[in-house]
Amino acid sequence: MSNTISIAIDGPSGAGKSTLARSISRKLGYLYVDTGAIYRTIGYYVFSKHLDPRDPEAVVSALPEISVSMRYEEDGLQHMLLNGEDVTAKIRLPEISMYASAVSAHPAVRVHLLEMQRALAREHHVVMDGRDIGTVVLPDAQVKIFLTATPEVRAHRRMVELEQRGTPEPYEKVLEDIRQRDWNDTHRAAAPLRQAEDAVLLDTTKLDFQQSEEALLCIIRKKIKER
């Protein structure tokens, strides 16, 4: 049994998981693991090969050609390597979100990536964010948080983020994509997005970044003290 501490943060896209998880991991001195980036890397490969991300056979037969690894650089960023190439920036292109969501629905893809995620949590104290961390990847995590906000607020935050990245998209399109991804991620049979029974719900609709971070740290401190 591992004696590392794991903080699992799950929730829909745009709830603020990655920004908050990155920031609290720095404060706690834990490793931040963005599992969405791992699915995005598979999605990017499928996109670059012009495969249909919803076709299980096409995606599964591509898996042996895909080697995904991660590297933490001095900038503190989790860099994603796809067959040795750094694809950290490419996986953030707006069209890759839907590819990641589609490929992540195939059970074989999830199994393929499971051990990589668990190994990181065995070796480090982690803040890991995703959709199924508290339910499937790390069911024994000491702290589980389900982070959410209304689709409208999440779409607005995502729109600002896309603008800052230099890939702006109109609000209506971003909102439609968020709703579509919410539906995909919660309705798939394999490890759907849902709140673990022992997760604490944190709704950030009315909270700014600092308030959300304080609320998150408060939940974490309380849970770790209770152990």
Residues that bind ligand DC (CB under 6 A): 13, 35-36, 39-40, 97, 100-101, 104, 130-133, 181, 185
Of 69 and 218, CB closest to ligand DC: 69
Torsion angle of alpha carbons 104, 90, 95, 55, nearest 10°?
-40
Least distance (Å) between residue 133 CB and ligand DC: 6
Least distance (Å) between residue 100 CB and ligand DC: 4
Q: Is 40 helix (H, G, I), strand (E, B) or coil?
A: helix
Least distance (Å) between residue 131 CB and ligand DC: 4
CA dist 60 and 53 (Å) reads: 10
Place of tokens 């591509």: 62
Of 42 and 219, CB closest to ligand DC: 42
Of 35 and 148, CB closest to ligand DC: 35
Terminal-to-terminal C-alpha distance of the chain: 16
Least distance (Å) between residue 185 CB and ligand DC: 5
Of 181 and 223, CB closest to ligand DC: 181
Least distance (Å) between residue 225 CB and ligand DC: 27
**Contacts of residue 11, Cβ cutoff 8 Å, sequence gap at least 6:** 17, 129, 131, 146, 147, 148, 193
The CA–CA distances, whole Å, from 216 to 152, 172, 211 equal: 22, 30, 9
Q: Kindly tell me the burial class for residue 163, based on how many C-beta atoms sit within 10 Å of its own C-beta (0-12, 13-18, 19 or more).
A: exposed
Of 109 and 219, CB closest to ligand DC: 109
CA dist 76 and 79 (Å) reads: 9
Of 129, 123, 134, 165, which is closest to residue 25 (Cα–Cα)? 129
Least distance (Å) between residue 201 CB and ligand DC: 18
Of 161 and 225, CB closest to ligand DC: 161
